[in-house]
Structure 1
Amino acid sequence: MGLFNRKRPGPDEPPDETLPELTVSGAQRLRDLVRGSMATSGYEVTVYAGHVEDADGRQFGLGSLARRLADPRIAGKHWPQIIEDHVRRLLASVDGPDEFDVPTEDLLGRTYLRLYEASSLPDNGWWSYGREALPGVLELLALDLPDSVATFNDEQVGKHGHHRLRAAGLANLRREEADERATFDGVEILVGSMFMASTILVLRDVILRTTGEAHLPNGVLVAAPFRHQLMYHVPRDAQVIPALNAMAGNAAAGYDTEVGPLTPHVYWWFDGALQQITNRDDTGAIEIRVEGGFGEVLSRLVPGL
């Protein structure tokens, strides 16, 4: 998963208000193509700015498609085929057998805790059980299927039991391993499945498996910019400064350009709690906030800073 620069709209073609990854005309083309593809499959839908809704009230978000099509490597002529394939897979999961209508034991091995950017979810009240794990990021339960991932709704969680499902979701996250690993400026960069970023919820286990560190007296700097990537640095000395700077820039870039964005920020983890230490202003400039527990750690590791 490389980091690449997204095409920026020219001055005469502003970004769409709801799907800012695309221009106004590009976002409208996406909506038109989705409407046509759904109609070809026998679904008449009402098109809204960020989602479409069928006659049964089911909502299908357009955000993930917009982010994928914003990739400058994808030519406009390929949009219809990409959207058709996406819609076909989506409808197959909707019209197929109910994957949740099985004994709870049959679900536990495939259930994961997964993080979702809250603004990317339809506002339909299906996930009131969700916990805000990070500002603007929800922790939900997901079922891993052969070709996709399905999210448990309130009814399904009630049927199978939230406590039992969450315990299974954590256990399965602890077994998640990266497909690729790199180290840059003291930062461990892990890339893997769509559950990789969600392993921030079991960070201690990830670090123990990756670099073998069990004692973390200075906490951990961590970022989960998009669903396939997790970055972390264990502060030990003055290298914390270049590591933090590298993480701040790469987290913002990954969030802005990759599919499945979660959060552009860097956090300081200590004993299971997460403190946000970066912020972005309206221009996109990154601010690092040295305060609280992290401020004390930084003062100890870099005296006179």
Structure 2
Amino acid sequence: MNSNSHDIIGTALVDAFAQRGYQAALPDPDTLAVTLRDGTRVQAGIAEWRAHAGRNPRSALPGIAAQYADQAVRAFARRPAPPPAGGTLDVASLRVRLYPEEALDERMRAALVTRPLAPGLLQTVVMDYPDSIVPLNRVDLGGLPETEAFGHALTQSIEREPHYVQATDVQGIKIANIGEQHRYIGAHVQVLRRYFPGPLPFGALVAFPLPEYVMVHEVGTEQHLVLAMKTVQDVAARLAGTGEKPISPQVYWWRPGDYEALAERDALFGGRVPDLRPVGVQVEQGGERLQAGLVGDHTAALVQGWEAARR
């Protein structure tokens, strides 16, 4: 949707860029697209800014929009020029972000360096600047193959950004949280073997509720699988429901296999992703007992294999 007279917040922002000599548009209400001096088109999410602007009186909108535009123009000035044909990017700025599938329409997926991670999840290469995060367009790759762009972006996200690993116990269910206050933590799913190096006969449950968290529960025989799945599911749903820029409450079954058997660098640069399959349970009160329903074929396969091993 383009800005119009009914969208006073969007119109104020587009006008602010026009006053500074930049053509701007709103492909959708929460996305700003700006055409730079060299003809490059960059996009940014403005949902948080829109919410902030909406809490102010109408008379304040021009000033708030001007402040945003000034910050963006300064960021444009620091933006490295696109590489010449056959050249390569400065990979130091590359990172990987996770997005819910519905966040990027077909047009955006065709334009950006993005790929599926798991059902419902997309990995997207972005350029990290001091004041903004800009998705990388395929036309700006130069001669760099997409697999290498992902490899560099994953490596920078994992090695150059801080993270912590914190063990928690939720109603007797052990969950490892990989986290930090930045939006690239999801990249750590590509190196989970660092945190779970031993044998994992049943794999693990993994969730990505927010950009700042990856939740992992190692499936074992000490804790009942359905209870563990429900607990991880509940925690993921609570975080996704209350945090900023949620990714998904979906829980996935991580099955270590061929990807994890690769040398780590080969895995990051090889264009492959871990095996993540959506799983879930529905728990209902039936009389005095709780009844658990398994959601999907992958859930049934996991539970059946786990129960067979316990016999």
User: Which category of TM-score, normalised to the shorter sequence, fits these structures?
Assistant: 0.5 to 0.7
Quick check: 1:65 aligned with 2:46?
yes
Residue of 191, 196, 199 corresponding to 1:202: 191
Structure 1 window deviating more from structure 2 (289-298 vs 245-254): it is 289-298
> Structure 2 CA distance, aligned partners of 1:86 and 1:246?
41
**How many matched pairs?**
263
* Structure 1 unaligned regions, length at least 5: 1-17, 19-26, 281-286
Task: Identify the structure with the greater strand proportion.
Answer: 2
Name the aligned partner's letter for residue 31 of structure 1: G
Name the aligned partner's letter for residue 66 of structure 1: A
User: Do the aligned residues in 2 keep the contact of 1:100 with 1:107 (CA within 8 Å)?
Assistant: no
Q: 1:256 corresponds to which residue?
A: 241
Deviation, structure 1 residue 224: 0.8
Q: Which has the larger radius of gyration?
A: 2
SS in structure 2 at match of 1:159: coil
Residue of 118, 121, 127 corresponding to 1:134: 118
> Structure 2 CA distance, aligned partners of 1:48 and 1:111?
24
> Structure 2 CA distance, aligned partners of 1:83 and 1:243?
47
Q: 1:170 corresponds to which residue?
A: 154
Q: 1:238 corresponds to which residue?
A: 223
Percentage of pairs with the same residue: 18
Over 3 Å counting, the alpha-carbon distance change for 1:117 and 1:37 in structure 2 is farther
> Structure 2 CA distance, aligned partners of 1:202 and 1:243?
23
* Structure 2 unaligned regions, length at least 5: 257-273, 283-292
Q: 1:21 corresponds to which residue?
A: none
Structure 1 window deviating more from structure 2 (101-110 vs 233-242): it is 101-110
> Structure 1 CA distance, aligned partners of 2:88 and 2:142?
15
Residue of 110, 125, 135 corresponding to 1:151: 135
Name the aligned partner's letter for residue 189 of structure 1: N
Name the aligned partner's letter for residue 135 of structure 1: P
Name the aligned partner's letter for residue 276 of structure 1: P
| Alignment deviations for residues 122-147 of structure 1 (CA, whole Å, 9 cap, x no partner) | 634312x5221122322222233333
Q: 2:72 corresponds to which residue?
A: 90
State the TM-score, normalized to the length of structure 1: 0.68
Q: 1:3 corresponds to which residue?
A: none
> Structure 1 CA distance, aligned partners of 2:20 and 2:116?
36
Deviation, structure 1 residue 120: 2.7
State the TM-score, normalized to the length of structure 2: 0.67
Over 3 Å counting, the alpha-carbon distance change for 1:110 and 1:59 in structure 2 is closer
Deviation, structure 1 residue 95: 4.7
Q: 2:269 corresponds to which residue?
A: none
Q: 1:31 corresponds to which residue?
A: 10
Quick check: 1:112 aligned with 2:95?
yes
Quick check: 1:188 aligned with 2:176?
yes
